Amino acid sequence: MSDTDIVCYRLQACPFCERVVRRLQEYGIDYESRFVEPLHSERDAVKRLTGKRTVPAIVDDTEGVTMSESANIVDYLDRTYGDADEAGGEA
């Protein structure tokens, strides 16, 4: 969808994906979920974007950012969309 800020590639019932989604929801970010193949070897849509087949992966068009690995994504979301106090506290 065109009115979303972030596209999130995810797998049903994947806890790492849920972690990212929870953060997106906390920050009130409009996101589009794209559910991919459970079979790792067939996740070509993700590989074309990030060079890897792992999920979660996000594409943030506003910031021009594409990344995978849930810990990295959560850090990125905190830095970019978290409120100033929290970001200051962690720095």
Partner 1 sequence: MELDFEVVDLGPADHPEEGEQAPEFTRPLVTDEYWSDVALSELVARDDEPTVLLFHSMDGAFPATYLWKEVRSRDWHAEATVVGVSISTPYAHKQLIDERDLGEDYALYSDPGNGVAEAYGIAHDLDGMAAVSEPRPAVFVLDSERTVEYAWVAEEWPDFPDYDEIEAAL
Q: Which residues in this chain contact partner 1 in the complex, by CB under 8 A?
A: 1-2, 9, 32-38, 44-45
Nearest residue (CB) to partner 1, 4 versus 72: 4
Strand order in the sheet with 57-60: 6-10, 57-60, 65-68
Question: Measured from the CB of residue 49, what is the shortest distance to partner 1 in angstroms?
Answer: 11
CA distance 2 to 47: 22
Strand pairing partners for 68?
57
Nearest residue (CB) to partner 1, 36 versus 73: 36
CB–CB of 32/7 below 8 Å? yes
Question: Measured from the CB of residue 4, what is the shortest distance to partner 1 in angstroms?
Answer: 10
Nearest residue (CB) to partner 1, 11 versus 82: 11
